[in-house]
Structure 1
């Protein structure tokens, strides 16, 4: 069976895969199109286009080494009954550390301290506050959100989750369904958005939702950029509807130099790096290896299988 990688893992990872699965024909080629007789395609997802799929008559499974699949032609893949899996869950450690790091930096006023150091000024900046006793609303608490909630709870934060079903999340103070999001926005000191990109979540955060929030609230978007219009977010920030924002994802990436977000003092811009880690590919390949072992046994109920109708 031919397995085509359209990115190149480190040589040691390639060798390990070939040793673990010696009966398969692995092909590794960064930027190269999969060969026509490819049965399994391992990719970051951005090169999965209609033309490529139509040129792969034997394709059965696409293993995406990232979490997002919204740019892929999901309806076509569904019609062709091609299985898609992703690397959901491998980001939870680096993204949790990034999110918690930003929160602590803002609450303990670290940016001001760093600025004073660079200016060689001995001055005690005002504005530091404790995280303990505050409240956080995590919108879209999957594997990443659950870990963020666990760590925030350890800091003494009251955590509420908001997911599609309203299903209870262990360790959270409360969990509500997405349709009850508006009822929770007014009580949160920190709103953390980790939603995927789907028709249901597209521009979910309207100006009315920001108006429901505390004018001191910190809005954090670490899910997908299109859950909020940049124009709406700028309007909410300039009007003082919320206290500030930390953004790792944007409607347009890279963020254009002309974007007003760059000039707003109450905005932290992170260039979509919160999930970066030395262990990224290693963790993604662990999921792929477990799934390939299942595949060899004839199992098609694979780990992290994407619901192509829902888009995640």
Structure 2
């Protein structure tokens, strides 16, 4: 069996895979340009999900499984993959701990006025009138109650926050006090003091956070986006912030990245900008390898009880 990877892996991780599966042939490359020739007759392909095209998929001869070493799969050519009957799995859940930690750090940063306190410190200003807010008793609304959203809810409950989650079915999810569907989105928005978007990029979610949605939030609400920049209509968010329809936005993802130097977000006092790093962790690749090995064992045994299987019709 031939396994080709276009992902950059540390030597120890590559050596571990080779040692654990001596009967398999691994071919590691830095990018698709280097991998393409071997990919054409590979059985398994490991990728970050951004280098596959419909043209490449139609050329592969034996490919049975694509393992994506990220949670986002929106750039995959789903139609061609489905036509070829290729299994796709991803690394969903790999980001849940760092992204949940980031989210709570940002919630605390806003509630405890960290930006103002740091500014005062730099200016040698002693001001005990800076307003402080407790998280206890506040409500957190999470758009996307998957692995990441659930981890965020778990951490929020430690702070005695009420948690409301949104998913497609409205089914119960651990760590959420209430669950709603998109038809009940207004209820979540009206009740929440903090609204966190962990939404994927799909035709149904792109530009979902628009003026109408923002106007349903509390004027004191904080919006946090760690999902996809495409989920938000940025001009609508800017207007909502300027007109006081919401209090603050914490943004880790944007329509265009890197965020252009002249973008209004950089200068807005009620916006916190971070450079798409909420999921960064030194445990990223080891966790991805763990998911891959779990599925590889299923693949080799023929049991096919895979985790993180992507629904090619829905795109996640």
TM-score by length of 2: 0.96
Q: Which residue, out of 222, 225, 244, partners 1:221?
A: 225
Task: Let me know the Cα RMSD of the aligned residues.
Answer: 1.2
Q: Which residue, out of 109, 125, 132, partners 2:113?
A: 109
Distance 2:255 2:82 in 1: 26
Contact 1:112 1:125 in 2 (8 A): no
SS where residue 183 of structure 1 aligns? helix
Q: Which residue, out of 66, 72, 75, partners 1:71?
A: 75
Contact 1:136 1:158 in 2 (8 A): yes
- 1:62 and 2:66 correspond: yes
Q: Which runs of 5+ in 2 are unaligned?
A: none
Cα displacement (A) at 1:170: 2.3
Match for residue 165 of structure 1? 169
Match for residue 210 of structure 2? 206
Q: Which runs of 5+ in 1 are unaligned?
A: none
Distance 1:77 1:258 in 2: 39
Contact 2:58 2:80 in 1 (8 A): no
Distance 1:72 1:271 in 2: 24
Larger deviation: 46-55 or 21-30?
A: 46-55
Contact 1:33 1:52 in 2 (8 A): no
Match for residue 10 of structure 1? 10
SS where residue 117 of structure 1 aligns? helix
Count of matched residue pairs: 312
Distance 1:163 1:54 in 2: 34
Match for residue 263 of structure 1? 267
SS where residue 141 of structure 1 aligns? coil
Per-residue displacement from partner, 1:206-231 (whole Å, max 9, x unpaired)?
Answer: 20111111111000111111111111
SS where residue 33 of structure 1 aligns? helix
- 1:282 and 2:286 correspond: yes
Q: Which residue, out of 129, 132, 141, partners 2:133?
A: 129
Q: Which residue, out of 297, 300, 304, partners 2:301?
A: 297
Contact 2:96 2:147 in 1 (8 A): yes
Per-residue displacement from partner, 1:101-152 (whole Å, max 9, x unpaired)?
Answer: 0111111111122122222333335121111111111111101111111111
Q: Which residue, out of 190, 197, 205, partners 2:194?
A: 190
Distance 1:105 1:67 in 2: 26
TM-score by length of 1: 0.97
Q: Which residue, out of 227, 230, 236, partners 2:240?
A: 236
SS where residue 220 of structure 1 aligns? strand
Q: Which residue, out of 156, 161, 167, partners 2:160?
A: 156
Contact 1:6 1:30 in 2 (8 A): yes
Distance 2:195 2:185 in 1: 11
- 1:97 and 2:91 correspond: no
